[in-house]
Amino acid sequence: MGVATSAEPRPPAPAVHVLKAPYLLFLGDAVESGFAKTALGLRDWAGDKCLAEHALPAATVTTGLPRMSPAAAAAAGARSMVIGVANQGGVVPDSWLPALLEGAAAGLDVVAGLHTRLTEIAPLHAAALQAGVRLIDVRVPPPGLPIASGAKRTGRRLLTVGTDCALGKKYTALAIARGLQARGIDAQFRASGQTGIMIAGEGIAIDAVVADFAAGAAERLSPDASPRHLDVIEGQGSLLHPAYAAVSLALLHGSQPDLFVVCHQPGRAQILGTPGYAVPSIEAVIAQTIAIGRLTNPAIRCVGVSLNTAGMTADAAAEEIARTAQRIGLPAADPIRGGDAFQRLLDACEA
């Protein structure tokens, strides 16, 4: 089975959302850290992009960054005001509007990954036009996305895949990219979800792209690169998920990964939110990923397993990691715990 090639000129630079840093993180009126996970994730994974935070008087959550008004943050160098709250329903309540208007008036782009579209809030839209700033809904795909060509691109690619949703594909990709960079490897994290886009400063929310264009969006997400460059691509969903397999398939075909890492949470028995569906085995996901991924990259191979051992003791996690590595015959690690196991996983990603 071959890979399509083309003598036609390649498309221009990828159509991705590009965010301007540094960020002013907006915490709204959050009183529970779980609802401020976007801001906290940005603090932890993109601290160099985060200048300050701004919150309403009712908020009790903090990132620990200096508190500044939008005007003060803009004067200090901030270029974007990022809504760091993922509240129930993903809405922009009326109580937030004055602060967002302040941000626009101060010359800050306003960025969100909520279900409510910033561009549909009439007063904010008018304020942004007047100030000449952008309203960026990162879950809205950028314009001009093509259908996939299947043409082989230069450079190398690694994709994180999962046995289920919400078990660490983003964190695994971030940790691998940064671990390889620390070794002097030319590696880059490529974001395919809203929080990842805010962390990376650019990307495409693949799950929001119309199905016919999703694989094409994945191609644009990871463009031509030098032969030794490695793009580490954030995975979405699971090929064996009854609801979200489609986005996983599009990302797999479009990213054309040379390498992939399977992400799994030990002890999770049922697919999240889908009663009656058992979490597939790591072995099943490896086999399925290779079988389907060969369409656009016949040389695709698995290089290891990432385990989410949150909630386990250090000893229990170490035992689970060792058992998995022995059973699968590939390096296994929890990237958040790090250690020698993670270094062995990085060795496999580098080879």
Query: pLDDT per residue over 122-131, tens digit each?
Result: 999 999 999 9
Are 195 and 113 in contact, with CB atoms under 8 Å apart?
yes
Show the tokens assigned to 116.
């409510």
Q: Count other Cβ atoms within 10 Å, centred on residue 153.
A: 16
Q: What backbone phi and psi angles, to 5 degrees, belong to 350? A: -80, -30
Task: Summarize pLDDT for 174-190 with one digit per residue, the tens.
Answer: 999 999 999 999 999 99
Q: Which residue has the higher pLDDT, 162 or 8?
A: 162
Query: Of 123, 94, 129, 85, which is closest to residue 109 (Cα–Cα)?
Result: 129
Which domains does the chain possess? 17-137 (3.40.50.720), 156-350 (3.40.50.300)
Q: Count other Cβ atoms within 10 Å, centred on residue 49.
A: 21
Mean pLDDT of 137-144: 90
DSSP 9: P
Write down the pLDDT at residue 15: 65
Are 176 and 220 in contact, with CB atoms under 8 Å apart?
no
What residue type is 199 in one-letter code?
I
Q: What backbone phi and psi angles, to 5 degrees, belong to 67? A: -90, 130
Query: Of 285, 220, 205, which is closest to residue 256 (Cα–Cα)?
Result: 220
Task: Summarize pLDDT for 13-66 with one digit per residue, the tens.
Answer: 446 889 999 999 999 999 988 888 899 989 999 999 999 999 999 999 999 999
Q: Does residue 5 carry a pLDDT above 70?
A: no
Query: CA-to-CA distance for 351 and 349, rounded, in angstroms?
Result: 6
Q: Transcribe 239-275 into DSSP letters.
A: TT-TTTHHHHHHHHHHH--SEEEEEE-TT--B-TT-T
Show the tokens assigned to 76.
């200090």
What residue type is 71 in one-letter code?
A
Query: CA-to-CA distance for 98 and 3, rounded, in angstroms?
Result: 53
Mean pLDDT of 262-290: 96
Write down the pLDDT at residue 9: 38
Write down the pLDDT at residue 16: 83
Query: Of 349, 48, 337, 53, which is closest to residue 199 (Cα–Cα)?
Result: 48
Are 167 and 310 in contact, with CB atoms under 8 Å apart?
no
CB-neighbour burial class of residue 27 (10 A; exposed 0-12, middle 13-18, buried 19+): buried
Query: Of 124, 143, 152, 169, which is closest to residue 257 (Cα–Cα)?
Result: 152
Print burial letters for 178-187: b (CB count within 10 Å at least 16), e (below 16): ebbeeeeeeb
Q: Which residue has the higher pLDDT, 110 or 9?
A: 110
- Estimate the crossing angle of helix 169-182 against helix 339-350, to 10 degrees: 80
Query: CA-to-CA distance for 195 and 256, rounded, in angstroms?
Result: 23
Query: CA-to-CA distance for 258 and 297, rounded, in angstroms?
Result: 7
Identify any residues that bridge with 110 across adjacent strands, giving them in sequence order. 81, 135
